Amino acid sequence: MLKNLDALGIVGLLILLGGIGLIAYANWIVAVGIALVVAGLGLVVKSLISGMLQNFGMF
């Protein structure tokens, strides 16, 4: 997965992990909930993009 990201994507991933880490420092239950929401959102976006590319015959 990381080989498909450019530098901006890696920086975004590090900021995301840093933000969840900062929230976990304050309250770990909230951090787990936010991590689950972000993971679910990522899966939905990946599914939507894959479906769109299949409709165009590109994937």
What does the alpha-carbon distance between residue 36 and residue 50 come to, in Å, rounded to a whole number? Answer: 21
What does the alpha-carbon distance between residue 29 and residue 45 come to, in Å, rounded to a whole number? Answer: 25
What's residue 49's pLDDT? Answer: 86
Report pLDDT digits (tens) over 5-29.
678 878 888 899 999 999 999 999 9
| Residue 6 Ramachandran class (φ > 0 left, ψ -120 to 50 alpha, else beta) | beta
- Report which of 41, 40, 45, 19 is spatially closest to residue 30, judged by C-alpha positions: 19
What's residue 25's pLDDT? Answer: 93
Which amino acid is located at 17 in the chain? Answer: L
pTM of the model: 0.74
Report pLDDT digits (tens) over 26-54.
999 999 999 999 999 988 888 888 888 88
